[in-house]
Amino acid sequence: MMPNNMYLHQHLTEKEVWRLIRSGKIAIAGNIKLKIYGKLNCSSGKRMKKQNRIFFTSVEEALQQGFRACKRCSP
Encoded amino acid at 60, one letter = E
> In this structure, is residue 74 part of a structural domain?
no
CB-count exposure of residue 29 (10 Å: 0-12, 13-18, 19+): buried
Residue 45's pLDDT is 82
Residue 1's pLDDT is 37
Q: Is 9 helix (H, G, I), strand (E, B) or coil?
A: helix
pTM metric for this prediction:
0.84
Residue 6's pLDDT is 77
> In this structure, is residue 51 part of a structural domain?
yes
Residue 57's pLDDT is 92
> In this structure, is residue 75 part of a structural domain?
no
User: 6: which DSSP letter?
Assistant: -
> pLDDT tens, position by position, for the chain (75 residues)?
355 567 899 899 999 999 999 998 998 999 999 999 999 899 888 888 999 999 999 999 999 999 999 998 875
- The range of the structural domain enclosing residue 42 comes to 7-69
> In this structure, is residue 33 part of a structural domain?
yes
d(CA 56, CA 36): 12
Q: Give the total number of structural domains in the chain.
A: 1
